[in-house]
């Protein structure tokens, strides 16, 4: 996939109406309806300010939650419009619909330097179906399409891919940074290139492992998924999570690593407990002597040391998936050790969204990382080498 795409800086925006796809899919407090994490709104501000100050009229749009094509008042983007207005220091006109009379009227009257926000795109089932007529109505409001929602570019929806059939399409600053950092790390990494994969399931990362074994120098595997690999080696894994359907795949990947000269490192010890609980009593065991009545809930201290050593000498590190159940303090040490090693390394360090992003934020290492991806599913598909429809549709430089 070509990541060298035109950005807002490569086109004339003065006097133009810009349809801007943002990722305002923020968590709302169930009781108060207030925004509980505004990171995604804050990260959209640089592109919006650039467009407004450059004399464009901005028609922002996003989805929020999963209303499944129904108008669900609790999933309205009204709270987002209010917070965005505070962050920008300028009014944000809120449309009561998406492609209806109110949206069309506001868009038509919108002047350069002004911004409006359409209601939740997913109030229309046509959005996720990438319906051409729906995409056309969105596009008809504007002169240019700017995509700045990396978290949605792996989906071919009307607002991510469909509108690009009717408007010149470029990226905003947030999406451009994702393409530059992730694309650079995968296609032209500073070596040694170390990839770290964790999380509970191998099945979530089948294509990612396969692709990284073509590109990385070292692959570190922790988290629950490591136990599928350990069982594939014939080791006792007790009550640890395991996908028996993926044992052959794990063996195949270990052979592939050997054939490609990639160092594939698995845990040598684990922090175990009798049950999955925050209060469970942890103990450390070698992976060669796992008790049958225990389950692995984190990588052990020796593994953490080995992994940290690989990271210390790396030129590029990409990390996706925690090393253990970091939400439970007793089983967070492995994830903390990896985050700390990355923060202290001189490498280009990239966090692939999702739980890894949550972990580095929680443990205070976020500001030490080169890049933290804003898209969990999108960054996974990017690492897998899949062409993302919301990127392919943008104009090449």
CB atoms within 10 A of CB 355: 21
What gap in Å lies between CA 18 and CA 115, rounded to an integer? 10
Structure-block tokens of residue 10: 């490569």
The one catalytic residue among 172, 198, 324, 354: 354
The one catalytic residue among 49, 129, 201, 312: 201
Strand order in the sheet with 269-273: 283-286, 269-273, 295-299
The one catalytic residue among 113, 315, 377, 385: 377
CA-closest candidate to residue 215, choices 238, 237, 241, 195: 195
Q: Can 201 be counted among the known catalytic residues?
A: yes
Q: Can 100 be counted among the known catalytic residues?
A: no
CB 282 within 8 A of CB 273: yes
- Residue by residue, what is the 3-state secondary structure of the chain? CCCCECEHHHCCCCCCEEEEECCCCCCECCCCCCECCCHHHHHHHHHHHHHHHCCCEEEEECCCCCCCCCCCHHHCCHHHHHHHHHHHCCCEEECCCCCCHHHHHHHHHCCCCCEEECCCHHHCHHHHCCCHHHHHHHHCCCCEEEECCHHHCCCCCCCCCHHHHCCCEEECHHHHHHHHHHHHHHHCCCCCEEEEECCCCCHHHHHHHHHHCCCCCEEEECCCCHHHHHHHCCCCCCCCCCCHHHHHHHHHHHHHHHHHCCEEECCCEEEEECCCCCCCCCEEEECCCCCCCCEEEEECHHHHHHHHHHHHCCCEEEEECCCCCCCCHHHCHHHHHHHHHHHHCCCEEEECCHHHHHHHHHCCCHHHCCEECCCHHHHHHHHHCCCCHHHHCCCEC
The one catalytic residue among 5, 16, 17, 40: 40
| Residues taking part in catalysis | 40, 201, 354, 377
């Amino acid at each position: 996939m070509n990541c060298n795409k035109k950005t807002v800086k490569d086109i004339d925006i003065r006097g133009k109406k810009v349809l801007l796809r943002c990722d305002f899919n923020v968590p709302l407090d169930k009781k108060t309806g207030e925004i509980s994490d505004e990171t995604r709104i804050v990260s959209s501000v640089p592109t919006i300010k650039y467009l407004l100050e450059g004399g464009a009229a901005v028609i922002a749009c996003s989805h929020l939650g999963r209303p499944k094509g129904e108008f669900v008042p609790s999933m309205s983007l009204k709270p987002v419009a209010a917070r965005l207005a505070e962050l920008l220091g300028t009014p944000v006109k809120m449309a009561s619909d998406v492609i209806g009379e109110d949206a069309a009227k506001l868009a038509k009257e919108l002047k350069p330097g002004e911004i409006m926000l359409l209601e939740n795109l997913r109030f229309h089932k046509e959005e996720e179906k990438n319906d051409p007529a729906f995409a056309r109505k969105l596009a008809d409001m504007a002169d240019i399409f700017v995509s700045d929602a990396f978290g949605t570019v792996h989906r071919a929806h009307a607002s991510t891919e469909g509108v690009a059939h009717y408007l010149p399409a470029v990226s905003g600053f947030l999406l451009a940074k994702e393409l530059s950092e992730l694309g650079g790390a995968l296609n032209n990494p500073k070596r040694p290139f170390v990839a770290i994969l964790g999380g509970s399931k191998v099945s979530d990362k089948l294509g990612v492992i396969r692709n990284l074994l073509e590109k990385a120098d070292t692959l570190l595997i922790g988290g629950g998924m490591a136990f599928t690999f350990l069982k594939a080696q014939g080791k006792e894994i007790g009550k640890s999570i395991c996908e028996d359907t993926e044992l052959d795949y794990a063996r195949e990947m270990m052979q592939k690593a050997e054939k490609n000269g990639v160092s594939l490192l698995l845990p040598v010890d684990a922090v175990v407990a009798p049950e999955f609980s925050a209060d469970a009593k942890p103990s450390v065991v070698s992976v060669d002597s796992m008790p049958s009545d225990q389950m692995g809930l984190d990588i052990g201290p020796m593994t953490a040391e080995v992994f940290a050593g690989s990271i210390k000498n790396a030129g590029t590190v990409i990390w996706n998936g925690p090393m253990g159940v970091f939400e439970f303090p007793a089983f967070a040490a492995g994830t903390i050790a990896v985050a700390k090693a990355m923060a202290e390394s001189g490498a280009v360090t990239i966090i692939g969204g999702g739980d890894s992003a949550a972990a580095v934020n929680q443990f205070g290492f976020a500001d030490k990382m080169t890049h933290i991806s804003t898209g969990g599913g999108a960054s996974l598909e990017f690492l897998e080498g899949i062409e993302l429809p919301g990127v392919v549709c943008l104009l090449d430089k």
